[in-house]
Amino acid sequence: MSQPDAIWFMEGVSSQKDILALVAQARRAGRHDFVLIASHRSSRPEILAEADVAYLEPEDDGALFAFIRHVCQQHRVRAIHAGKRGALLEQQRTAIEALGVRLVTGARERATFTLADNKTRFSAEMSAHGLPAVPSIEVRTPDEVAAAIAQVEAQGHRPCIKPVHGIYGMGFWVLRRDAHTLSFFNNPYSRQIHPDVLIESLRRAQQAGESLPLQIVMPWLAGPERSVDMLVENGRVIAAVARRKEGSVQVFEQETPAWRLAVACAETLHVDGLINVQTRNDAEGHPVLLEANLRPSGGIGYTAFSGINLPGLFALRQLELISAADAIAQRAAFNPVQVIPTNAVQPLPQCDPVTWSASPDEECR
């Protein structure tokens, strides 16, 4: 008896568990027969237990292709979602697809990853294509930061600063002249710091010989912020759900200006897979692009409550169980509900992932 087809989700950034659960949900709803494989570099039973088969990934990037080949030999893998190491696997696309599988990394070429990972270049590229993006000034030294702050303030805006590279909003600060000297220390979650404190800190770091990070200074945007999760196939948006962030509440949207801007961004970048685009409204209430993430967002699991199961549609499309037209038709199921994230506690499930080790012969090939 031949094996059923399989789809494989490798280690993700923050939403692998939700993705696996929603793919399993779509399998049950459609009474489909396929194997769900998951892998991770760490022992994460709460994630891996959502799959039918689980593997521990090798830590060594150099062993990754041999590992992928081994898993594909054990199962009838039809598609691999690259997850966290998408940029790395994109470089090995030809070799991986020669195994007879589809590789989904978030893009179809390495240059797209390079562009999306550099917020300055991303903003400039999107603006060049006529898409509104937050204006960004790239800075590193204290003098460059001071000049950029003065430029943004002269335009009547409150400046912000954040790293050129990064995720989760780490390193983002609003630069306020009315902030107390220790605002960043006493209330770090406010993300506010006095410009003079920042510049003086950079000067001291420079004098101490420390490496200064490459950052961007930009105008503060009034909001609200929107996170748009999408299923895209080779630059064609199949389905998309926007989440408008109102404090702890998130509201689902479709066919709004921000939704359309995010879709246009995905098409312009010619992305491929489950991806996410962030927008925020300017002072006039118009959405502008913040960034594009060539991976699922941490909140993609929320979108299933809108009636559109993006991970499920992705899996069914990769396994050719539904047509593109059928997937696009799922947009009609959209429901603009509101959700609020909660912290749930549950017993740790039992899961014993398969541990793989390369033979000397495999390591050399």
pLDDT for 236: 98
Taking alpha carbons only, the member of 102, 219, 212, 115 closest to residue 160 is 219
Hey, where are the domains in the chain? 5-105+345-364, 112-116+222-339, 136-219
Question: Which pLDDT does position 358 carry in this prediction?
Answer: 72
Concatenated DSSP letters of 165-203: S-STTTT-EEE-TTS-TTHHHH-GGG-EE-HHHHHHHHH
| DSSP state, residue 69 | H
CATH number for the region 5-105+345-364 comes to 3.40.50.20
Q: How many CB atoms lie within 10 A of CB 44?
A: 18
Query: 154 in helix, strand or coil?
Result: helix
- A 10 A CB-CB count for 225 gives 18
State the Cα angle at 291 between 285 and 293, rounded to 5°.
135
- What pLDDT shows up at residue 345? 84
List, in order, residues 6 or more apart from 124 with CB less than 8 Å away: 133, 136
Query: Could you tell me the sign of the dihedral formed by the alpha carbons of 293, 296, 298, 300, in that order?
Result: positive
Element spanning 224, H or E: none
> Domain spanning 136-219 has what CATH number?
3.30.1490
- Topology of 112-116+222-339 in CATH? D-amino Acid Aminotransferase; Chain A, domain 1 (3.30.470)
The radius of gyration of the chain's CA atoms, rounded to the nearest angstrom, is: 22
The DSSP call for residue 231 is E
Classify residue 325 as exposed, middle or buried by CB count within 10 Å of its CB (0-12, 13-18, 19+).
exposed
Dihedral sign, Cα of residue 300, residue 303, residue 304, residue 308: negative
Rounded to the nearest 5°, which phi and psi values hold at 264? -60, -35
Q: Which pLDDT belongs to residue 365? A: 34
Cα–Cα distance between 122 and 290 in angstroms, integer?
9
pTM, two decimal places: 0.92
235 DSSP assignment: T
Positions of the chain with pLDDT under 50: 360-365
Evaluate whether 63 touches 92 at the Cβ level (below 8 Å): no
- Determine contact, residues 107/113, Cβ cutoff 8 Å: yes
* pLDDT on residue 1: 61
Q: Helix, strand, coil shares of the chain as percentages rounded to 5?
A: 40, 25, 35
Q: For residue 316, count CB atoms less than 10 angstroms from its CB and return exposed for 0-12, middle for 13-18, buried for 19 or more.
A: buried
